[in-house]
Amino acid sequence: MGNPANKDIEALQEKYRKIAPLLEAEYGRKTFKPHDGMDELVSCILSQSTTDANRDRGFDALKAKYPNWDAVCHAPEDEFIDTIRPAGLANSKGPRIQAALAQIYDERGEYNIDFLEDMPVEEAKEWLMALPGVGPKTAAIVLCFGYGMPAFPVDTHIHRVGKRLGFLPEKISANNAHPAMEAIVPSEEYYPFHLQMIYHGRAICKARGPLCDQCPISQYCDYYLTEAQKG
């Protein structure tokens, strides 16, 4: 007899293989282009609990005011908080960003995290999560988008869509969902499938009023099949 858990994973992997080409046909396939690792890290901290537009306003203001990361790290705290205020929650994000920069410099002697690219992915995640303001999602985004490393970030869209599809248990936390998605999706597909799920969550599988009648993958969706049976 095989391991039931392995059988469950195999069934979810098979579901992925059916869903992935349909999402790619709907949303296209983005080719990986590396982002600057430090930019990605700070941008991710700014993005927490806010919109992409607010994050971008805060990050753009930071870049316009400070010439380098040393200037950010040593800026007066009140001034830095005021600079990034458009990103929201600046009173907490400001000190976290400055503390993270200070820790990076103390450990590495420079404001640079490109060394992560040469580390095993789990070690790189742990190193990042030891920084102030960095949890599993931020660590995965930095590794995936900054360096093309095999980490699958789970944001609110992917958490919601993953649960509705049946990829994720209903009560799983977003933090615990990262390894669950990594077990289902082939590592070379983390980057494009992550983006396709986000696009789908924004366009069709919305938090309120999902547009199931327009969904290209409804036949594989646990939520849809359950709701359809109710009707």
Q: How many percent of the chain have pLDDT more than 90?
A: 90
Cα diameter, the chain: 63
Q: What is the pLDDT of residue 227?
A: 80
Q: Mean pLDDT across the stretch 164-182?
A: 93
Q: Determine the distance from the C-alpha atom of residue 215 to the mean position of all C-alpha atoms in its chain, rounded to a whole number.
A: 23
DSSP symbol at 48: T
For residues 204 and 215, is the Cβ–Cβ distance under 8 A? yes
CATH fold of 37-147 reads Endonuclease III; domain 1 (1.10.340)
Inform me whether the pLDDT recorded for 59 exceeds 80.
yes
Q: What top-level class would CATH report for the domain 4-31+153-230?
A: mainly alpha
- Average pLDDT taken over every residue of the chain: 94
**C-alpha to C-alpha distance for 125 and 217, rounded to whole angstroms:** 32
CA 13, 2, 159: angle at the middle one, nearest 5? 30
Token readout for 61 is 């203001």
Is 37-147 in the same CATH topology as 4-31+153-230?
no
Q: Among the residues of the chain, which ranges form H helices?
A: 4-27, 37-47, 52-65, 69-73, 77-83, 90-108, 121-129, 136-141, 147, 156-165, 174-184, 190-203, 222-230
Give residue-wise pLDDT tens across range 80-95: 999 999 999 999 999 9
User: Would you list the DSSP string of 92-137?
Assistant: HHHHHHHHHHHHHHHHHSSS--GGGGGS-HHHHHHHHHTSTT--HH
pLDDT digits (tens, 9 = 90+) for 201-221: 999 999 999 999 999 999 999
Ranges of each domain in the chain: 4-31+153-230, 37-147
Confidence of residue 2 (pLDDT cuts 50, 70, 90): very low
Whole-prediction pTM: 0.88
